[in-house]
Structures are given as structure tokens and as C-alpha cells.
């Protein structure tokens, strides 16, 4: 039986040696997509966008994407095509080539296993490097004197894909590709990632699930410090580090003078010292006063802290808050504060303010800032739900 089969397929095989099939030619084009990307070839592929077979339409679209910007003039002309399929696919391709989309998460990467977020920060040849794994998507951001380079691997149009984005600075990245900039902004500073400060020669800081690992430099080893998995360590950025990152970015954008930058940084450091003394007698009041002083400094230089500072004195609640799994717990109540007048106590869980659910410190600050008087706070205390009203 095997001999018969070999004889039957011999002729097609010989023919295949003499003829180049469309599939093999496509493979050659994939190896070097811009080679032979003449106007005639591009026009042929655009015509193929309206082919009766779905596979051939997809193949043409894939090859035009690989050709990239040289295909744009013909694709823009194809928008006028009487064939609705060609015009529609040309429009999609123009968007795909002009502003490359960012690959999204890839749930299948974990074979059904929940993917934990991992983040690694390091310095490589003077460049800050951030590597992130989230939901099966890989993100790498390198930023230094040569600009920004970001590589994202994930799912695009339902298929695994990798895209690279380059820009001289954040503003150029934002102008070229807002979606890529949003991802850069999320992880580079002020997002759910951690603020990286100082230099780590040859090593880095790695967050892996519930562990934080600090890698030493090369040569002498340096060792590593790992928090045991038994002690859960949520990846929560320090607010002062996020504030420093936010202000540093604004100061660079506003081109503040070195003396002005020093004034802002000194005000932030004073706030950090006041927060460090928060558990001492009068420490919370000192921290609140320092927040107000910092706000005045920021207003002087037209800098915006966002919701990374407590509200101004006239609306401040006057509590220390611990956030745990979208729940807010009162850790401390300042004397003669708004919180004390309302009736808040240590251990209370703040569930709602003026009817709105509170799940983050930022939401709480916004809600408190929005109303100077008559605040209504719904809490849970010792298992009982209570409603407290500001008189």
C-alpha cells in the first residue's frame, strides 16, 4: 500500500519542484516583506482584499500590514473603491499601519491558570528598564538619553503579536500613539507600578506575586532579599513616591529652574519627615500642616498633586486610612478634626460618603473635598452598619 501511495504522489511532488505555489511565495515574502514591495504588488494585494475567499483576503491584509507605510498611498486611494469589502479593509489597514494598536492581555498564556502581575525595575547602561507581566501580556519599557523604547507582546485581533514603540520622549509617544502612551504612563510613573529611585548597579528590584526580590550587582554577588510567600505583600505603590514621580514629570514639562525644583523637592521631603513622625504626639497635626504648606508651594509653581495629597484644611477629614481589598478602615482620628465631629472611631470601615461607595483612598479624598459641610458617612462598626452625619 505504501508503494502505491508513493507512486501516486510522485507526479505532484515533481510538479511542486518546478512551480512556486502561492503559499510558498507568501512565505518568502514574509521572510522579507518589503522586498519586491512594488506599486504593482501592492495594487495586486489591495485587489485581493476583495477576493471571494476569506483566506485570501486575510493573507492580503497580513502582507499589506507587513509592507507597512509604503502601502499607505495605495490604501488611501482604495478608500474610494466601489467594492465595499476593499474599502472597509483598506480603512482598517490604514489605522493599523498609521497608529499601531497595542497588543492586549492574553488569558490563554497561562493555560487557564490565574496570571499574577510581576514587575521588575533595573538600570541597564544608565537606562531605567521596567519589565512587567500582567494577564499573559509582556511589557518592557527602556527609558534613557536615547529616548523611550517600549515592547508589548500579547493578543492582537485574537492572535499573539508583538509591537515596538519608539519615541524621543513621552510627549512624542503621546502624539504618535495615545494608546501606547497610556500604557507607558501606567507603568513608568504614577500608575500601579512602583516608583524607582536611585541606581542599582547591574541588579534590580523584582516584584513576583507576593514576593519582593532585590538583586545585587554583578561580580561580587550581592545576594537577594525575599519576603516569604507566607507574608502577603500586595503591590501597592507608596503615595509619596508616586507624588514625587508626578511632580518630577510636571517640573520637567514646565521646565522649572533648578532652584525652583529644589524648593519643591525640599517641601516634599519635609512632608515625608512629618509623615514619618505621624505616630508621635502631635505628629498627625504636623503632617496635615505640612500638606498645606506643600500645597502652597505647588500652587506657586503651578503644579498639580492630583489626589495624592489629603484635601485642603477646610475640607480635610482628619483620619489615617488603611486600604485592604477595596475596603477602607480608620486607623487613627485626629483631635478636633472633622472626623471626630462626625463621630468616626478607630476600626470603623468607611463604606459610603454621601451615598457613593468608597473603595480607594483617592475616592474618599475626592468625596470629602467636594463638600465642606453636612457630610454623610456610612460605616460598619463591630458588625453593625451605621450612618453618621456631620452637624
Task: Encode pLDDT of 204-254 as tens digits.
Answer: 444 444 334 444 444 333 333 333 333 333 333 456 777 888 898 899 899
Query: Cα separation of 151 and 83, whole Å?
Result: 36
Residue appearing with cell numbers 489626589: 307
Query: Cα separation of 156 and 179, whole Å?
Result: 14
pLDDT higher than threshold 70 for residue 108: no
Grid coordinates in use for 17?
519542484
Taking alpha carbons only, the member of 240, 226, 235 closest to residue 187 is 235
- The predicted model scores a pTM of 0.36
Other C-beta atoms closer than 10 Å to the C-beta of 333 total: 20
Question: What's the whole-number average pLDDT of the chain?
Answer: 73
Q: Is the Cα dihedral 235, 239, 240, 242 positive or negative?
A: positive
Residue appearing with cell numbers 500601579: 192
SS3 117: coil
Binned at pLDDT 50, 70 and 90, residue 281 comes out as very low
| Helix runs in 211-337, H state only | 239-254, 258-276, 283-300
Over residues 29-75, the pLDDT tens digits come to 443 444 445 888 999 999 999 998 888 998 998 888 878 778 889 99
The 8-class DSSP code of residue 53 comes to S
Grid coordinates in use for 230?
507566607
Amino acid at each position: 500500500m505504501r508503494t502505491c501511495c508513493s507512486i501516486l504522489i510522485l507526479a505532484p511532488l515533481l510538479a511542486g519542484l518546478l512551480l512556486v505555489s502561492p503559499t510558498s511565495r507568501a512565505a518568502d515574502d514574509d521572510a522579507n516583506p518589503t522586498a519586491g514591495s512594488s506599486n504593482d504588488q501592492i495594487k495586486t494585494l489591495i485587489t485581493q482584499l476583495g477576493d471571494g475567499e476569506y483566506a485570501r483576503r486575510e493573507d492580503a491584509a497580513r502582507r499589506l500590514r507587513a509592507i507597512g507605510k509604503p502601502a499607505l498611498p495605495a490604501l488611501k486611494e482604495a478608500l474610494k473603491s466601489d467594492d465595499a469589502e476593499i474599502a472597509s479593509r483598506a480603512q482598517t489597514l490604514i489605522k493599523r499601519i498609521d497608529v499601531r494598536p497595542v497588543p492586549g492581555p492574553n488569558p490563554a498564556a497561562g493555560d487557564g491558570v490565574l496570571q499574577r502581575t510581576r514587575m521588575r525595575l533595573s538600570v541597564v547602561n544608565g537606562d531605567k528598564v521596567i519589565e512587567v507581566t500582567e494577564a499573559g501580556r509582556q511589557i518592557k519599557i527602556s527609558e534613557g538619553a536615547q529616548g523611550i523604547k517600549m515592547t508589548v507582546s500579547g493578543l492582537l485581533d485574537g492572535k499573539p503579536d508583538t509591537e515596538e514603540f519608539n519615541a524621543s520622549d513621552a510627549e512624542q509617544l503621546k502624539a504618535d500613539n495615545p494608546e501606547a502612551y497610556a500604557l507607558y504612563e501606567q507603568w513608568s510613573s504614577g500608575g500601579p507600578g512602583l516608583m524607582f529611585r536611585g541606581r542599582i548597579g547591574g541588579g534590580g528590584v523584582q516584584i513576583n506575586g507576593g514576593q519582593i526580590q532585590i538583586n545585587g550587582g554583578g561580580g561580587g554577588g550581592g545576594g537577594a532579599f525575599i519576603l516569604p510567600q507566607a507574608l502577603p505583600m500586595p503591590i501597592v505603590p507608596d503615595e509619596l513616591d508616586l507624588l514625587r514621580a508626578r511632580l518630577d514629570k510636571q517640573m520637567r514639562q514646565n521646565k522649572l529652574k533648578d532652584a525652583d525644583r529644589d524648593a519643591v523637592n525640599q517641601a516634599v521631603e519635609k512632608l515625608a519627615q512629618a509623615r514619618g513622625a505621624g505616630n508621635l504626639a502631635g505628629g498627625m497635626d504636623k503632617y496635615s500642616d505640612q500638606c498645606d504648606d506643600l500645597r502652597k508651594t505647588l500652587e506657586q509653581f503651578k503644579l498639580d498633586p492630583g489626589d495624592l495629597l489629603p484635601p485642603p484644611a477646610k475640607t480635610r477629614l482628619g483620619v489615617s486610612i488603611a486600604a485592604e481589598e477595596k475596603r477602607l478602615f480608620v486607623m487613627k482620628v485626629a483631635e478636633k478634626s472633622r472626623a471626630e465631629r462626625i463621630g468616626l472611631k478607630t476600626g470603623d470601615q468607611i463604606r459610603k460618603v454621601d451615598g457613593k461607595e468608597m473603595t480607594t483612598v483617592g475616592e474618599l479624598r475626592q468625596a470629602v473635598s467636594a463638600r465642606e459641610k453636612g457630610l454623610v458617612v456610612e460605616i460598619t462598626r463591630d458588625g453593625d452598619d451605621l450612618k453618621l452625619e456631620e452637624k
